[in-house]
Amino acid sequence: MYFIGIDLAWSIRNNSAGAVIYAQGKAGKLIYWQERLKDNDEIIDFISNSTGTSPAIVAIDAPLLVLNQTGTRPCDRQLTKEFRKYHAGTFPANRQKWERLGWQVRGWEIVHELATLNFSPNPNIPRQTEVRRVVEVYPHPATIVLFDLARILQYKSRKGRDLKYRQKELRKLQNFIRKLDQATPALEVDKSLFRNTASLYGNAFKIHEDLLDAILCGYIAYHAWYWGPEGYRIFGKENWKEGYILVPRLPASP
């Protein structure tokens, strides 16, 4: 079973990143990744070439199903209400905002392109069953749940965060991903992938940050598949065709 994580840039002018996990039961391994994916065709090719016609779940960090012209999706409101105290709320997603900023509705387009490869956007993932799905995920609340954090890791570029602080936060994310080899399910990542964060700045920092996010997206999909419905929550489940976000949930026992 393949699990593909995509950290999707809002614009094709910026890099997206992709990570491929192959897993059998509770043992998974990161087997392939790309740090510089640009347009939708490159992303579709990355997914298609990685999985062929095999069972796979693609987890994308970006709004996928967006029907509303203005305002925000119910799933974004629900998630933000629950995770605001961790600083893990979402940005409102609507088509008018994207058009005003000149952004593509990339997630929506990719979902429709993946449908031709038999990937369904249905977020309901049965436990350890062969499926082909594409789902929307969000790394920030996932880190809160998976790593038992009191707030998000602040490695993103924001006002008031200097580079040294962000480097330290990114190193924490690296360490958490390393420790997934002890989790259930377990993920093995080649240690040579992790860069020295103290030497990262500018575009090099952003590229490594995006790759780590893509790995985390792939693991979210793996976790959901391994545990089934007890291992994830769907914000917006009631009307998922209008937009949803899948977030990991820790089961009561192994």
Tens digit of each residue's pLDDT (9 = 90 or more) over 172-221: 999 999 999 999 999 999 999 999 999 999 999 999 999 999 999 999 99
Is the full-model pTM beyond 0.85? Answer: yes
Mean pLDDT across the stretch 90-103?
75
Cα–Cα separations (whole angstroms), residue 178 to 132, 153, 158, 189, 194: 27, 15, 25, 7, 9
Given pLDDT bands bounded at 50, 70 and 90, which one contains residue 92?
Answer: confident
- The pLDDT of residue 101 is 61
Mean pLDDT across the stretch 4-25?
94
8 Å CB contact between 5 and 218: yes
Pairwise CA distance, residues 223 & 253, whole Å: 14
Pairwise CA distance, residues 101 & 86, whole Å: 28
Residue 124 token pair:
């309901």
